[in-house]
Amino acid sequence: MLTLEKFEEASEIVKQVTQETKLIYSKYFSEQTGNKVYLKPENMQLTGAYKVRGAYYKISTLSAEERAKGLITASAGNHAQGVAYAAQVYGVKAVIVMPTTTPLIKVERTKGYGAEVVLYGNVYDEACAYAYELAEKEGYTFIHPFDDPAVATGQGTIAMEIVKELPLVDYILAPVGGGGLATGVSTLAKLLNPNIRVIGVEPAGANCLQTSIREGKVTTLEQINTIADGTAVKTPGERIFPYLQENLDDIITVEDDELIVAFLDMVENHKMIVENSGLLTVAALKHMDVSGKKIVSILSGGNMDVITMSSVVQLGLIQRDRIFTVSVLLPDRPGELVRVASVVANEQGNIIKLDHNQFVSTNRNAAVELKITLEAFGTEHKKRIVDALMKNGYAPRLIRANL
C-alpha cells in the first residue's frame, strides 16, 4: 500500500497544511561527529510537530460520511494536535484521548484547535484502548497515530523533501515511538534510492521496536520509563511492522541523560526548542561509527512545557559541570564565609546558592557545614575551583547539585 504514487500524492496534499522546513546545516554537530550533519526542523510546523502530515493525509482519504461521524484518536500529544488541526480544516468533530501524563502545553494546544480532550491512562497504550472503546460506542472514525499505512505515507513525505534538497544523503535518522514516521521515511527513502541508510532511534527505556525486531514479531514491553513522552510506546504497529523489518537498516537506543545534554546543545548552538522525543536523533549522532557522511537528523517536534524545559536545562548544566555543589567544613567564626567566597571569586567561580548548617556537629568551633552551589565554565574550570579550595585547607566534598 505504501507506493511511490501514494507518496507523491501525499506530498502534494500535505503542502496545504505544512510549512516548508528546509534542512539546516549544523556546524556544531558536524564538528562533534566528523560528519556533515543536517537537521530537518519539523518542530517548526504550525502544530509543533511532523504529525500533522500523516493526520491530514489520512483524513483526506476518508469519505465524507466517515468524516461526518466525527474523528477520534489517542495520542501523547503531537498526533493529537495534528488530528485536531486537520479536523478543524475539514470542519468536523474531533475527540482526542490523551494519557494523564501528557504535558499541559500539548493538552491546551489540542483544545485550542477545537478538539474535545479526554484524559485517560498513564501511557499511550492505555489511552489508545479507551479510544477504541469510545469509537465503537459513539460510532467515531478512528485515526491511528502510527499503525496505519495512510498515516505512515503522510509521514514519509519528509523523506521526499530531504532527498529533493539533499540528493546524496547517506543516512536519515528517524525517531521511533510506534513506528509510523520510521515506516514512511524508510520505505520512501528505499524507493527513491536503495543506498540511503535509514536508522530508527528509540529511548532505551521504551525500545519496543528494537525488541520486536530482535524477536522477529511484534512484542509488547512490560513497562516503559523515559522522559521522551512522545515515543513512550509499549507496542509498535502491527500493520506497519513488516515495512520496518524490511526497510530500517538499524536501530539505536538513547538514554534519557543523553537527551538532557542534547537539549542544551540544541538551545545554545541552534537557538531551537526541541522536545525530548525530537532530540533522539541528535543524541544518536554520537553512537554512529561513521565519518565523512551526509546525515540528516529529523527533529520530530518541539512541544515542551516550560516546567519540563526548566528542569531539563538545569539538569543539562549539572551534567556538563557548569553547575555543581561542594560541601566544606569550617569554624563558626566571623570572616570564614568571606574567606571561602574569596577563594571561589579568585578562580572566577560564581556562587548562586549557599546553605550554612550550624548543627552538623555539637562542636561548632570545629565543624560548621557550608554547601556552595556554583556556576562554572565546564569540567576543567570546576576542577580548578575545587583544587583551590583544597589548597586553602577546606577539604571540599562534591555532592549532587540540587537547585
Catalytic: which of 11, 75, 186, 300? 300
Q: Which amino acid is at 270?
A: H
What pLDDT is attached to residue 401? 79
d(CA 277, CA 233): 12
Catalytic: which of 6, 36, 51, 382? 51
Please state the separation of Cα 42 from the chain's center in Å.
12
- Residue 187 CA neighbour count, 13 Å, CB half: 28
What pLDDT is attached to residue 228? 93
What pLDDT is attached to residue 85? 94
Please state the separation of Cα 7 from the chain's center in Å.
26
Tell me which residue has cell 502534494. 12
Question: What structural domains does the chain harbor?
Answer: 4-50+148-316 (3.40.50.1100), 52-142 (3.40.50.1100), 321-399 (3.30.70.260)
Active site residue 51: yes
Q: Please, which residues have CB within 8 angstroms of residue 109's CB and are 6 or more apart in sequence?
A: 47, 48, 81, 303
What pLDDT is attached to residue 230? 86
Q: How far is CA 34 from CA 26, 217, 289, 295, 383, in A?
A: 11, 36, 10, 11, 28
Q: Are 224 and 234 in contact (CB under 8 A)?
A: yes
What pLDDT is attached to residue 400? 84
d(CA 360, CA 384): 27
State the Rg of the chain over Cα: 25
DSSP-derived secondary structure letter, 301: B
Active site residue 217: no
Q: How far is CA 247 from CA 186, 242, 256, in A?
A: 5, 9, 26
pLDDT average per 10 residues of sequence, the chain (403 residues): 94 96 98 98 95 96 94 89 94 94 84 94 89 95 95 98 98 97 98 98 97 96 92 93 97 96 95 96 97 98 87 91 92 86 94 82 70 94 95 91 73
d(CA 132, CA 65): 19
d(CA 106, CA 76): 8
Closest CA to 80 of 49, 101, 122: 49
